[in-house]
Amino acid sequence: MKLTRRKKDANHDAVADAWRRFGWIVVDTSAVGSNAVPGFPDLLCIRWPVVLLVEVKDGPKAKLTPAEKAFAARAGSPPYLVCHSVEDAIEQAQAWR
């Protein structure tokens, strides 16, 4: 199976770096949704024992796609978060540690 690379949001790398600055292991999963699991979030953030699914959106008006909404509704645990900015990432990273 040939993997296709989906376009990342403009703030994707900055959001991932913000999580890392607060001691989280960040796995970029942005290619998973388009290749295997529709709606899978962009980042897997780990700070044992906490594991978070993080969807990156570029700006406060960006909405989840239907596939992302469906995945979030099924996710349950680990928690599914949406980061619209670096500030969101910092706030959430601090809140969850």
What pLDDT sits at residue 34?
64
Q: pLDDT of 22-52, one tens digit each?
A: 999 999 998 886 667 888 999 999 999 999 9
Residue type at 46 in one-letter notation = I
Specify the pTM: 0.88
- Mean pLDDT, residues 57-78: 89
Whether residue 81 contacts residue 93, with contact meaning beta carbons closer than 8 Å, is answered with no
- Mean pLDDT, residues 2-22: 85
Strands 43-47 and 25-28: antiparallel
Whether residue 81 contacts residue 52, with contact meaning beta carbons closer than 8 Å, is answered with yes
- Mean pLDDT, residues 76-92: 92
List domains and CATH numbers for the chain. Answer: 12-96 (3.40.1350.10)
Q: Take residue 2 and report the two structure tokens written for it.
A: 């040939």
What pLDDT sits at residue 32?
80
